[in-house]
A and B are shown apart, each in its own frame.
Chain A
Amino acid sequence: MKRQHTFRTAINALRRNIMRAALTTLGIVIGIAAVITMVEIGQGSSNAIRKTIESMGANTLLVLPGQAASGGVSFGAGSVMTLTPGDCDAILHDCPAVSAAAPVVRATAQVVYGNHNWVPMQICGTTPAFLDVRNWTQMNEGECFADRDVRNASKVCVLGQTLVRELFQGESPVGKEVRVRNVSFKVVGVLSKKGANMMGMDQDDILLAPWTSIKYRVTGSTVTTASSSTSATTSTVNTLDQIYPSTGGALYPVPSDTEAADTPLPVRFANVSQIMVAAQSSSAMKQAIGQITDLLHERHRIKPGDPNDFQIRDMTEITKALSSTTTLMSTLLLCVAMISLVVGGVGIMNIMLVSVTERTREIGLRMAVGARPRDILWQFLTEAVLLCFSGGVVGIALGRTGSYLVTELLRWPTEPSLAAVAAAVFVSVTVGVTFGFYPAWKASRLDPIDALRYE
């Protein structure tokens, strides 16, 4: 009853001077609206920036096989073949902080189309998930190969812009066939332009194909790991060997049938050169690294204390740049927001002080009929908080409208932020309490006798 009475009294008091209440609260309205709009624009922008930076690879991790060492001599990263596509699938399924993972088999080879040829910077054998990892799902033309193509080791590929420019000179490559080390791949899609990476490497100079195709049809035929299997696979897969005898020419004498029968075909290695992993977000990188490490320990049966047979690399530099950018942005916005709210709060305090002076007789009267100092304090505090709160509500509506208009009219990316709204309500009430307290306290300290006689 008493609280309810205080509340109603405050509302009545504000209603008695509705114009002044509205003007007083305008400071808060503008402050909160500015905060909301700013935060939403800021969040939209920083998200856009984050996406851009992430597309540079800020949230990607590289899992590389470890190094072999013999007699104290290390052979460098990748010298043991420990990573398998199975590892890749397991990472994707068992690590919650990972959003996408793709195995990569690398090769360097000449790509030929008609009378043009080019050696792309990268030939990547991978899965369609590669494009998710690299934030590269937008295709310029055609589409990416499918998981089915990976299973079938289909001879299909996707080309980067540079490669298209060098080989096709304005022609549409989709549907054409290019030859990679005499294996012909059908072009099914063209990637969108990505430009150079941080190191100045042209990322568009790329050819993507199913990793199975690259591994078993392209590199398998030339990188001679086991001499006996090489000739066997070569003869079954690469039918152009006879036409271009120089490519991949046998370094070793071709074994006779008897020899071949004596040395059965070894199991086809299914190791990959690296696994590319995308974390859920750039902030989940640490978690992702931890989860992958644990998982690979388990899968590779590495005892605690034994050296890892893999390495994980992240793009620390880019991540740092990213976090400093967003931190700067939000700090800046917070400063602007704080200033506008403090100004609004001072406006409220000012008017409340005037109001207390103006209503001295009313305060005296209320005290004479039995209001305690605390009742008066509560009444004025409630008024101030009510002013700020309603200002906050109007400000939120105005701010949301503002950011909507910014998106609609200026095409500036904004993002609705529930946190900003909650913070705005909280801050406006806090401002009300903070700046309403002094006038309310002053009112409650009035002497009823003096107050009643005040002119």
Chain B
Amino acid sequence: MELLRLKDVYKTYHLGEIDLPVLKGISLSIERGELVALMGASGSGKSTLMNILGCLDHPTSGQYWLDGQEISGASANERADLRNRMIGFVFQTFNLLSRTSALENVKMPIGYSADAGTEREGRRRAMELLKRVGLEDRMDHEPSQLSGGQQQRVAIARALINRPQFLLADEPTGNLDSKSSEDLLLMFEELNREQGITILLVTHDPGVAQHAQRIIRIRDGVIGGDGTASVGAADDDDGAGTGKGGPA
């Protein structure tokens, strides 16, 4: 079953007099339960595509169906609501609230939900999630008292608090050492396998992308390759797609 689909998505930024086309007709679809890696060099339109997929931005033209709903023309408020209900974000820089306990950080998105449960319920769920990411003894710690890997795990717990169907991880391992990165990616795989959460890993590291079942490559605003991650897919960013899609 399809979770999201993009059709002929264009995104053009207007920088004064000059129009800067970033996405030039992207069409793709992601099934429920997939673990997808989105790869591309900087400037390829990777971040723009991620912003559109994450409902942070809307395309200049083209259509975007998320969970069967066409949302390319959604208002800022509607998009905020979608982000809250459907999408969990994990950022490269963790983006935890400083001087706020891990538990409070995880609970934070609940406050913006329309159908938020009781305070006690939210707290219980946050504790449960922290336990699942292995931080049950660090709930009262502030971000500055946690290692990078632990901070990222808090961020994952926060992303999961509203039971999203879609987890968007933007360079999740960019600020982590290799050991923590490996742990984190295993956790993503586990979440994907056990919870059936659709995960999109945005990365330029082929090693990270290897953990995904499918790799979408983007180059100069178009899809440069889309295919299953083969064993020998460890090519560099600018490398041509190795999947069945072939160069566009």
Q: List chain A positions with a Cβ less than 8 A from chain B.
A: 1-2, 5-6, 8-9, 12, 16-17, 361-362, 364-375, 448-449, 452
Give A258 Cβ to nearest chain B Cβ, in Å. Answer: 110
The 10 closest A-B pairs by CB, nearest first: A370-B84, A5-B111, A369-B109, A370-B112, A16-B99, A372-B80, A365-B95, A371-B112, A370-B83, A372-B77
Mark out the residues of chain B between 70 and 112 whose CB falls within 8 Å of any chain A CB in the assembled complex: 76-77, 80-81, 83-85, 89, 91, 93, 95, 97-100, 104, 108-112
Q: How far is A427 from B158 in the complex, measured between Cα atoms in Å? A: 40
Give A43 Cβ to nearest chain B Cβ, in Å. Answer: 44
Which of B26-34, B51-59, B180-188 faces chain A? B51-59
Q: Is the interface of A mostly helix, strand, loop or mixed?
A: helix
Question: Contact at A12–B80, with CB atoms within 8 Å?
Answer: no
- Chain B contacts of A370 at CB under 8 A? 80-81, 83-85, 109, 112-113, 162
- Chain B contacts of A372 at CB under 8 A? 76-77, 80-81, 112
Question: Contact at B104–A12, with CB atoms within 8 Å?
Answer: yes
Q: How far is A362 from B99 in the complex, measured between Cα atoms in Å? A: 12
Question: Contact at A449–B104, with CB atoms within 8 Å?
Answer: no
Give A45 Cβ to nearest chain B Cβ, in Å. Answer: 48
A12 touches which of B76, B100, B109 (Cβ 8 Å): B100
Give A177 Cβ to nearest chain B Cβ, in Å. Answer: 87
Size bracket, chain B contacts: 20 to 34
- Chain B contacts of A374 at CB under 8 A? 77
Output the nearest chain B residue to A368 by Cβ-Cβ distance: B89
Task: Tally A-B pairs: CB < 8 A.
Answer: 69
Beyond A8-B111, A368-B56, A452-B95, 13 extra complex contacts between A and B, CB < 8 Å: A5-B112, A5-B116, A361-B95, A365-B91, A367-B80, A370-B81, A370-B85, A370-B112, A372-B112, A373-B80, A374-B77, A375-B112, A449-B51
29 A-B residue pairs with Cβ-Cβ distance under 8 Å, sorted by A, are A1-B119, A2-B111, A2-B116, A5-B110, A5-B111, A6-B111, A12-B100, A16-B99, A361-B95, A362-B95, A362-B97, A365-B91, A366-B112, A368-B54, A369-B83, A369-B84, A369-B89, A369-B108, A370-B83, A370-B84, A370-B162, A371-B112, A372-B77, A372-B80, A372-B81, A372-B112, A449-B51, A452-B91, A452-B95
- Chain B contacts of A365 at CB under 8 A? 91, 95, 97
Output the nearest chain A residue to B159 by Cβ-Cβ distance: A369
- Chain B contacts of A5 at CB under 8 A? 110-112, 116
- Chain B contacts of A449 at CB under 8 A? 51, 56-57
Output the nearest chain A residue to B101 by Cβ-Cβ distance: A12
Question: Contact at A369–B76, with CB atoms within 8 Å?
Answer: no
Give A124 Cβ to nearest chain B Cβ, in Å. Answer: 77
Q: List chain B positions with a Cβ less than 8 A from chain A.
A: 51, 54, 56-57, 76-77, 80-81, 83-85, 89, 91, 93, 95, 97-100, 104, 108-113, 116, 119, 158, 162
- Chain B contacts of A9 at CB under 8 A? 111
- Chain B contacts of A8 at CB under 8 A? 111
Q: How far is A365 from B112 in the complex, measured between Cα atoms in Å? A: 12
Q: How far is A362 from B104 in the complex, measured between Cα atoms in Å? A: 14
Give A89 Cβ to nearest chain B Cβ, in Å. Answer: 69
Give B150 Cβ to nearest chain A Cβ, in Å. Answer: 18
- Chain B contacts of A361 at CB under 8 A? 93, 95
Q: How far is A209 from B98 in the complex, measured between Cα atoms in Å? A: 84
Question: Contact at A448–B111, with CB atoms within 8 Å?
Answer: no
Q: How far is A372 from B79 in the complex, measured between Cα atoms in Å? A: 9
- Chain A contacts of B95 at CB under 8 A? 361-362, 364-365, 452
Give A360 Cβ to nearest chain B Cβ, in Å. Answer: 11
- Chain B contacts of A6 at CB under 8 A? 111
Q: How far is A405 from B10 in the complex, measured between Cα atoms in Å? A: 72
- Chain A contacts of B85 at CB under 8 A? 370
- Chain B contacts of A362 at CB under 8 A? 95, 97
Most central of B77, B95, B113 by chain A CB within 10 Å: B95
- Chain A contacts of B80 at CB under 8 A? 367, 370-373
- Chain B contacts of A371 at CB under 8 A? 80, 112
- Chain A contacts of B76 at CB under 8 A? 372-373
Give B109 Cβ to nearest chain A Cβ, in Å. Answer: 4
Question: Contact at A448–B56, with CB atoms within 8 Å?
Answer: yes
Question: Contact at A369–B112, with CB atoms within 8 Å?
Answer: yes
- Chain A contacts of B93 at CB under 8 A? 361
Q: How far is A6 from B116 in the complex, measured between Cα atoms in Å? A: 13
- Chain A contacts of B54 at CB under 8 A? 368
Q: How far is A5 from B117 in the complex, measured between Cα atoms in Å? A: 12
Q: How far is A375 from B56 in the complex, measured between Cα atoms in Å? A: 16
Question: Contact at B99–A366, with CB atoms within 8 Å?
Answer: no
Decide: A366 near B108, CB < 8 A? Known: A1-B116, A16-B100, A449-B51.
yes
Q: How far is A2 from B112 in the complex, measured between Cα atoms in Å? A: 7
Q: How far is A325 from B77 in the complex, measured between Cα atoms in Å? A: 57
Q: How far is A370 from B82 in the complex, measured between Cα atoms in Å? A: 7
Give B120 Cβ to nearest chain A Cβ, in Å. Answer: 12
- Chain B contacts of A369 at CB under 8 A? 83-84, 89, 108-109, 112, 158
Give B182 Cβ to nearest chain A Cβ, in Å. Answer: 26
Give A152 Cβ to nearest chain B Cβ, in Å. Answer: 80
- Chain A contacts of B162 at CB under 8 A? 370
Q: How far is A370 from B85 in the complex, measured between Cα atoms in Å? A: 8
Output the nearest chain A residue to B94 by Cβ-Cβ distance: A365
Give B139 Cβ to nearest chain A Cβ, in Å. Answer: 16
Give B142 Cβ to nearest chain A Cβ, in Å. Answer: 10
Give A17 Cβ to nearest chain B Cβ, in Å. Answer: 8
- Chain A contacts of B109 at CB under 8 A? 369-370
